[in-house]
Amino acid sequence: MNLREFESAARELLDPVHYDYVAGGADDEVTVRANEAAFARIALLPRVLRGAASRESGVTLFGHRASLPVVLSPTAFHRLFHKEGEVATARAAARAGVVMITGMASTVAVADVVEAARAAAPGRDPAVWFQLYLQPAPGVTEALVRRATEAGCAALVVTVDSPVLGAHTRNARNGFHDLPDGLACENLRDLLDGEPGHVRQIAMSPTLDWDDLDRLRASTSLPLLLKGVLHPDDARIALDHGVDGLLLSNHGGRQLDTVPATIDLLPEIAAAVAGRVPLLLDGGVRRGTDIVKALALGATAVGIGRPAVWGLAADGENGVTRVLDILRRELDHTLALCGATGIADLTPALVRNATASAG
């Protein structure tokens, strides 16, 4: 019926340690809760008697026409949740006409993820974007970008909120620190030097700075998005450094705890970006009404993290498909109730109680 029920279904099926890994966040999980609570606090104020027989919900992202203003945000380790892992997720996204951001910490190699998306949507051009953590050794970053580019990824999403890993209390208590035997971060297998079959560790590095981003910018012509910029000043700096888009994200409350809900930050970031590049948002999106609120406040599209994992855990490809179908139906229903002919009609006039823009 709705996305929350997928969480219950997944919870019954998953190892409780793996459930906690997905559901949990950093420290006291203040931000995990805030993301959803902030959406609930914002009210929608509909218009009336502006009927339209159907409502347009497609959006163009970097030249790609997506059927929905929803992308799959990058989440690690899909084979932990379903045997087909990222292959199942990619098929569901491609068939739904939705962008999938595949993670650097994927348990299926990026070439196989893109191949699965292509095979699932013959005749279409599925969009898979690659999420990247800049690595302190530039050669490693370059090798990963080469892999993603050769695989056919259409954009790079650089996650910049993780100079060190967030402190996840649940994982620490559960003793969950690594993938079980038989699963690995396949994008880091046989990368550069090392024994054949060797899987390199993903490095989080507090030494990274804008120079590292400039190096990446100069090395690729793919669209480059930054994920995890929260301060409006950093949003402006990012644009000065030539990024092509931003994904406003607090990592689902999994990095620095007590940062604001992303939807509360959106007006400030939208003001800083001023329409110059696409602005995506993730964190706490669970309903069609959440999508409408985010788009009304200036987002080009939203991302979902946990809900796709719940769908995957509940029923593989079919579960992810159903999660996207539910969002599609709820979005259309909300647009109709708001008196909108499509997502193009969504403006701040449609919401009340949103955090005032700092301009």
Q: Which residues are catalytic?
A: 251
Spatial separation of the C-alpha atoms in residues 296 and 33, rounded to whole Å: 22
Binders of ligand FNR in range 19-58 (CB under 6 A): 21-22, 35
Task: Output the six-digit token pair for 247.
Answer: 């994904």
Out of 59, 61, 68, 75, point to the residue binding ligand FNR (CB under 6 A): 75
User: Does the footprint of ligand FNR cover residue 103 (CB under 6 A)?
Assistant: yes
Binding-site member from 305, 311, 316, 319 for ligand FNR (CB under 6 A): 305
Residues 153-172 that bind ligand FNR (CB under 6 A): 159
Asked if residue 229 binds ligand FNR (CB under 6 A), the reply is no
Provide the phi-psi class of 168: left if phi over 0, else alpha when psi is between -120 and 50, else beta.
Answer: beta
> In the complex with ligand FNR, which residue's Cβ is closer, 134 or 354?
134
Compare residues 259 and 309 and give the one whose CB is closer to ligand FNR: 309
Q: Residue 311, interface with ligand FNR (CB under 6 A)?
A: no
> Angle between the 262-273 and 30-41 helix axes, to the nearest 10 degrees?
70
Q: What is the DSSP string of 314-332?
A: HHHHHHHHHHHHHHHHHHH
Closest CA to 29 of 284, 300, 223: 284
Q: From 74-82, 84-92, 180-188, 217-225, give the range in contact with ligand FNR by CB under 6 A.
A: 74-82
Element (H, E) at 88: helix 86-96
Among 42, 76, 108, 261, binds ligand FNR (CB under 6 A): 76
Binding residues for ligand FNR restricted to 184-223, rule: CB under 6 A: none
By CB under 6 A, is residue 73 in contact with ligand FNR? yes
* Residues contacting residue 163 through CB under 8 Å, at least 6 positions apart: 204, 205, 206, 208
- Residues that contact ligand FNR, how many (by CB under 6 A): 24
Residue among 82, 68, 94 at smallest CA distance from 310: 82
For residue 261 the two structure tokens come to 């809900």
Closer to ligand FNR by Cβ: residue 105 or 154: 105
Binder among 306, 315, 328, 338 for ligand FNR (CB under 6 A):
306
Which residues are 248's β-sheet partners?
A: 281
What is Dmax (Cα atoms) for the chain? Answer: 67
CA distance 92 to 3: 16
When binding is defined by CB under 6 A, the residue of 126, 223, 232, 252 that contacts ligand FNR is 252
Q: Does 227 bind ligand FNR (CB under 6 A)?
A: yes
Residues in contact with ligand FNR by CB under 6 A are 21-22, 35, 73-76, 103, 105, 131, 159, 227, 249, 251-252, 254, 282-285, 304-306, 309
